[in-house]
Amino acid sequence: MKASAILSIAATLCLSWASTSAAGLPGFCGTLDVSRMTNADLENVVFINDLTKNQRVSRGQCGLPGERLNVCSSCSETTSEAAMRILRPMVGDPSHLAWHANWHELRGTATPLDASSFAKAKEAKLVPSTWSFQDFNSRYAVEGGSFSGENFFFMHRLMIKMVQLELAGNGLPCFAPWNDVPASVVDTKWPVPRKFQTPAALQSAEAQLEGMRELLGKLRAPKLLANVTLNRLGQLIEPRLHLQLHGFYRSTPPCSAEARAQGFCDDLVPVQTSPLNKHFWKIHGLVDQLVGDWLKAHGYSEIAVKCDGRKACYQWQGTWIGSYPR
Amino acid sequence: MKTALFLSALAAVFFSAPPAAAQSAKNAGKTIVCQELGFHDETGEDVPLANIQIHLGAQGKAERVVVKRPKTDELAAIRATTLTLANAKISHSIDKNDSEIDDVSGKQILDPETGRPQYKWNIEDVETINAKAGDLSVTVLINDHLYAGRPGSVIAISKGDKFVISSGQGMVGCTGAVMFPGDKGE
């Protein structure tokens, strides 16, 4: 590891020692710039964190196919409320929520981006100063951008890494991704968080869920995966399965009971609040699994920002993330 | 939440959201067009699927629904040009779900007790159109939450009591007449 990286880690730990999480353990509290650190550096941060606490933890991988990031003490099927309470100060920080929301909105998810909004975004340093409006749109506009689908995977994978680091730093297991949509609307582990008043309403919801399962099957079909770029796969998933899952696992009322009891809202639909919802991490875990399916279909075993000529490595092409929260 | 804050939140709901009737009138004579875009199973290329037009009459009420969907591997073609409307009302439903609502204008304010920001989450910008023709029924849920006028809506088509499309295998985007709170133009 480079000396500068060690210094940065030391600085980070100093910051983390200054704060204490709800579990009584020091956490990173979003002080790590995951976007600028290599996975090896991130593993080292967790290793040093373990050392400082004099704890010996065997750490391994949880999700993130195509990358090595052994920071998880285990890969838990559940997302406990204790873990969510640890995460919320970070993912619920206004700068984090704005980061995610701005990223979505600049891509034109709500309304297509116009030149004046782009200029404002540039002023706010959400996009590099050298980019033109046309360049940005042709690359990152949600409809048809040459990197927009791939970038959708990239951005949310980065968020998953941030969460894994935070959980690891607090001695908690990582969240395992869903490998499929839950078996039923009344699944024992992942029930849909709303009540169905009539048998017909329940039947209708089950049919909707079955539709999503079929759609996932279509998206995972080896023939389709072999024929599409990673960008196209992202473009197929984002407005369909991803969006449907966000709507389907939304609570009624839209803020979950746990959130309301604590005085905030974790509505799974608006981009301003969705990362606060536990389902967000399961849905994006599932979406992220499809990156692995695509890599396999194309003979890759690795995905990285820089492949440096490694043959079985796919190099990310859409890496714009807006302004990383500080 | 303190009573004063709750009252101010309630006032914000009433003053910032145009009355449903006023919004509906602006939609008079317009057409909402919803399109379902599927994809080819093997190539991933776009495949146009359902096209649904909802024609609005006076006061922005839906008067006619036209549904066209080509034959697919799974489903026979659907063509229904005038459907009886089970509900003809086009209006915005704005849910005031609980007392935690602080601001509907998008302006972030802090909860004085917790210091935490409160977020806009209470507006249900959803229009539901239910239409029937014989044993064919169509429900269009036009959703503006995440992708206004963009994919994010839902079309459900049932024949008798059996779903033929539920939520859709494709993405559904609706554009046209409906104006949502926060929109600048008509």
How many interface pairs between A and B have CB atoms less than 8 angstroms apart?
A: 113
Cβ <8 Å between A142 and B119: no
Residue of A246, A253, A263 with shortest CB distance to B97: A253
Residue B28 pLDDT class (50, 70, 90 cuts): low
Q: Which residues are bridge partners to A239 per DSSP?
A: none
Residue A314 pLDDT class (50, 70, 90 cuts): very high
pLDDT of residue B108: 47
CA distance B161 to chain A (A): 9
Please tell me the distance from the alpha carbon of residue A144 to that of residue A316, in angstroms, as a whole number: 17
Q: What is the pLDDT of residues A81-100, one digit of tens each?
A: 999 999 998 998 889 999 99
pLDDT of residue A5: 46
Residue A272 pLDDT class (50, 70, 90 cuts): confident
The residues, any chain, with a CB within 8 Å of residue A10's CB and separated by 6 or more, are none
Contacts of residue B105 in chain A, CB cutoff 8 Å? none
Backbone angles phi, psi at A140, to 5 degrees: -115, 0
Residue of A110, A236, A263 with shortest CB distance to B39: A236
pLDDT of residue B95: 30
Cβ <8 Å between B169 and A228: no
pLDDT of residue A252: 81
Cβ <8 Å between A227 and B122: no
Cβ <8 Å between A227 and B97: no
Residue of A211, A254, A260 with shortest CB distance to B167: A211
- Of the two residues B164 and B71, the one the predictor is more confident about is B71
Residue A176 pLDDT class (50, 70, 90 cuts): very high
Task: Average the pLDDT over B161-171 and give the result.
Answer: 61
What average pLDDT is seen over chain B? 58
Q: Is B107 on the interface with A (CB under 8 A)?
A: no
Give the highest mean pLDDT range of A52-56, A282-286, B54-58.
A282-286
- Of the two residues A5 and A277, the one the predictor is more confident about is A277
Residue of B41, B122, B145 with shortest CB distance to A218: B41
pLDDT higher than 70, residue B16: no
Contacts of residue B163 in chain A, CB cutoff 8 Å? 204, 207
> A249 near A193, Cβ under 8 Å?
yes
Please tell me the distance from the alpha carbon of residue A18 to that of residue A23, in angstroms, as a whole number: 14
Residue B148 pLDDT class (50, 70, 90 cuts): very low
Q: Is A110 on the interface with B (CB under 8 A)?
A: yes
Task: Average the pLDDT over A161-167 and give the result.
Answer: 95
Residue B106 pLDDT class (50, 70, 90 cuts): very low
In chain A, positions 173-212, which contact chain B (CB-CB < 8 Å)? 204, 207-208, 210-212
pLDDT of residue A312: 97
pLDDT of residue B145: 44
Structure tokens at A3: 């000396």
CB atoms within 10 A of CB B112: 10
Structure tokens at B151: 């994919």
CA distance B4 to chain A (A): 16
pLDDT of residue B92: 35
Q: Which one of B94, B146, B153, B161 makes the best mutation probe of the A interface by having the most chain A beta carbons within 10 Å?
A: B146
In chain A, positions 60-79, which contact chain B (CB-CB < 8 Å)? none
**3-class DSSP string for A243-278:** HHHHHHCCCCCCCCHHHHHCCCCCCCCCCCCHHHCH
Please tell me the distance from the alpha carbon of residue A259 to that of residue A95, in angstroms, as a whole number: 19
pLDDT of residue B101: 34
Residue of chain A whose Cα is closest to the Cα of B143:
A247
Backbone angles phi, psi at A32, to 5 degrees: -85, 135
ipTM (interface predicted TM): 0.84
> A161 near A154, Cβ under 8 Å?
no
Residue B97 pLDDT class (50, 70, 90 cuts): very low
- Of the two residues B22 and B67, the one the predictor is more confident about is B67
Q: What is the pLDDT of residues A102-152, one digit of tens each?
A: 998 898 765 668 888 899 999 999 999 999 999 999 999 988 899 999 999
pLDDT of residue A164: 96
What average pLDDT is seen over chain A? 88
Cβ <8 Å between A253 and B147: no
Place of tokens 């959803």: B126
Cβ <8 Å between A211 and B166: yes
pLDDT of residue A27: 64
pLDDT higher than 50, residue A294: yes
pLDDT higher than 90, residue B186: no
In chain A, positions 239-278, which contact chain B (CB-CB < 8 Å)? 239-240, 243-244, 246-248, 253-255, 260, 263-265, 267, 269-273
Cβ <8 Å between B167 and A271: no
pLDDT of residue A306: 95
- Of the two residues A323 and B80, the one the predictor is more confident about is A323
Burial string for B27-56 (b: 16+ CB within 10 Å, else e) reads beebebebbbbbbeeeebeebebbebbbbb
* 3-class DSSP assignment, residue B110: strand
Burial string for A138-171 (b: 16+ CB within 10 Å, else e) reads ebbbbbebebbbbbbbbbbbebbbbbbbbbbbbb
Task: Average the pLDDT over B81-106 and give the result.
Answer: 42
Cβ <8 Å between B167 and A224: no
In chain B, positions 119-158, which contact chain A (CB-CB < 8 Å)? 119-122, 143, 145-152, 154, 156
Cβ <8 Å between A240 and B170: yes
For the ranges A89-93, A227-231, B81-85, the lowest mean pLDDT is seen at B81-85
CA distance A294 to chain B (A): 13
Residue A256 pLDDT class (50, 70, 90 cuts): confident
